[in-house]
């Protein structure tokens, strides 16, 4: 499918995502946030970075960019939408995903390689529950929070996609780099076609990155199947 990677002022992982998808044989195109036409697009990625300098709140201003009404329509019609790091923040601010992302408990920017366990696998991801991925994080506002009633609904409907875990896939509050509630690293909407995650799969595309699990992630999401290494 053709994937549109939408860049906002301050995005810094957009080209990386385009390259990552193209390396798997996926047709990916870079799209500026003022473009409003998603005709012919089969998937949308909101990449990481610091849209609008993270002023007000991370993702708050980008959620009102000209492209977002088209993204909302695309998501409403069942199109797969993926938000990575700042893209996850934008999706939450836009109301396309539940919950919010606040300052890390350390109140500092954190950059590290983490293990995440697949808690539930919406159809758009094609992952298996229990799989463990090794992916890097790089954020200051990645602490996921949802009120208890919303959190209960997320678990009930299989919307918690990824949790921070140890290398064996054991979820432990001690293995939680930012203080996210229930170690949550990624969630989906009720329909399962909109997914947000804090780790960066585009930064784990080869073993010399420290992990090639990003290839597996993108190949499954984009339907590239056997092209993943």
pTM here is 0.95
Domain count, the chain: 1
Residue 42 has pLDDT above 70, yes or no: yes
Q: Which domain holds residue 46?
A: 2-227
CATH number at residue 15: 3.40.50.880
- What is the 3-class SS of the chain, one letter each residue? CEEEEEECCCECCHHHHHHHHHCCCCEEEEEECCCCCCCCCCEEEECCECHHHHCCCCCCCHHHCCCHHHHHHHHHCCCCEEEECHHHHHHHHCCCCCCEEECCCCCCCEEEEEEEEECCCCCCCCCCCCCEEEEEEEECCCEEECCHHHHHHHHHCCCEEEEEECCCCCCCCCCCCCCCHHHEEEEECCCCCEEEECCCHHHCCEHHHCECHHHHHHHHHHCCHHHCC
Active site residues: 85, 200, 202
Percent of the chain with pLDDT over 70: 97
pLDDT digits (tens, 9 = 90+) for 92-137: 999 999 999 999 999 999 999 999 999 999 989 999 999 999 999 9
pLDDT digits (tens, 9 = 90+) for 174-215: 999 999 999 999 999 999 999 999 999 999 999 999 999 999
pLDDT digits (tens, 9 = 90+) for 166-176: 999 999 999 99
pLDDT of the residue at 226: 36
pLDDT of the residue at 227: 36
Closest CA to 133 of 209, 222, 45: 209
Residue 56 has pLDDT above 90, yes or no: no
pLDDT of the residue at 223: 87
């Amino acid at each position: 499918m053709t994937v549109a990677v939408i860049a906002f002022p301050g995005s810094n992982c957009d080209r990386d995502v385009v390259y990552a998808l193209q390396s798997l044989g996926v047709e990916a195109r870079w799209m500026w946030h003022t473009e409003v036409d998603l005709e012919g697009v089969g998937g949308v990625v909101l990449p990481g970075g610091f849209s609008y300098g993270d002023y007000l709140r991370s993702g708050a201003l980008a959620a009102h960019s000209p492209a977002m009404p088209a993204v909302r329509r695309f998501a409403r019609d069942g199109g797969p939408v993926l938000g990575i790091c700042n893209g996850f923040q934008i999706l939450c601010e836009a109301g396309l995903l539940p919950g919010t992302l606040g300052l890390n408990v350390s109140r500092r920017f954190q950059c590290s390689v983490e293990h995440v366990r697949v808690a539930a696998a919406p159809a758009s991801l094609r992952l298996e529950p229990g799989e463990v991925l090794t992916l890097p994080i790089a954020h200051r506002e990645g602490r996921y929070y949802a009120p208890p009633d919303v959190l209960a609904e997320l678990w009930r409907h299989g919307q918690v996609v990824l949790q921070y875990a140890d290398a064996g896939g054991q979820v432990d509050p001690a293995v939680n780099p930012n203080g996210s509630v229930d170690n949550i690293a990624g969630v989906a909407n009720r329909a399962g076609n909109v997914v947000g995650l804090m780790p960066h799969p585009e930064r784990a595309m080869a073993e010399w990155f420290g992990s090639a699990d990003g290839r597996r992630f993108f190949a499954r999401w984009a339907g590239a199947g056997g092209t993943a290494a």
